Structure 1
Amino acid sequence: MINKFEIGTLILRVVLGLIFFVHGLDKFQGGIENTVGWFESIGLPGFLAYGVGLLELLGGIALILGLFSRVVSGLLALIMVGAIVKVKLSAGFIGGYELDLALLAIAVFIAINGSKAYSLDQIILKGKE
């Protein structure tokens, strides 16, 4: 039987996965070269755009499916820290980094607690997470 905590965590995992999937998809649909150029314009190596885009895209799918949720969430949390520090912090809280901070908190929560409800990890690991 799935408890309320697991249902809540499932909702957070799927929503976080969906948000990151769409952001990753947008990076590639909009032309990853544009994202590469933007990364370079803010002083980051352009090749990082590929890693961030792929992690958002594939990591989003993995979270929705409940596959490697802790690891993926930890990596997405690192992306959020980078986004906040490098891009959003100077804009302030409102209209700046408030959404990134919320996504960071959700990612850290899942990285710490995992998400067992309706996850492929449960099937693969047979409840050993």
Structure 2
Amino acid sequence: MTKVTLVSTITRVVLGILFLAHGISKLQMGLGNVEAWFSSIGVPGVLAYAVAALELVGGILLIAGLFTRYVSALLALMLIGAIFTAKLSAGLLGNGQAAGYELDIAFILLALYLMTAEPSPLSLDHAFFKKQRA
């Protein structure tokens, strides 16, 4: 395994764990509470369920390395939405009352990397789709 392959695998798995943790956190808060918070900032509350599902399922898929490019693209789009709807007004580093969007930018960059990187040999993408690429 090359260094690039190892870094790609670690990046994918760690990003998956982080998104899974965010999704679990939303479940622990109660999706009704997350829905109410979304509504309070002008975002349709129903999106709380979509975001939680994307974080949970997307995190699991990234850990497994399945549909990595598509999941990464969806997560990047979700993060861009989060920046513009919830975090932009707090600034890059936050304002003491709300988190900034520096972490979102880092996650977007990791997702962009995964969208363009070759599937790692330690992924289901590689196992299932390597014949199609050949």
Per the normalisation by structure 2, the TM-score is 0.89
Return the match for 2:113 from 102, 109, 115.
109
Q: RMSD over aligned Cα, in angstroms? A: 1.3
Q: How far did residue 100 of structure 1 move?
A: 0.7
Q: State the distance in 2 between where 1:9 and 1:46 align.
A: 35
Are 2:38 and 2:45, in contact at CA under 8 Å, matched by a contact in 1? yes
Deviations 1:32-69 (A, max 9, x none): 00111111111111111111100000100000000100
Partner of 1:100: 104
Residue 16 (structure 1) aligns with: 15
Whether the 8 Å CA contact 2:76–2:111 is kept in 1: the answer is yes
Cα distance, 1:91–1:114 mapped onto 2, change above 3 Å: farther
Letter in 2 for 1:112: T
- Count residues with an aligned counterpart: 128
The unaligned stretches of length 5 or more in structure 1 are none
1:118 alignment partner AA: L
On the 8 A contact 2:121/2:127 being kept in 1, the answer is no
TM-score between the two structures when normalised by the length of structure 1 = 0.93
Task: Give the structure 2 partner of residue 62 of structure 1.
Answer: 61
Gaps of 5+ in 2: 95-99
Aligned-residue identity in percent? 49
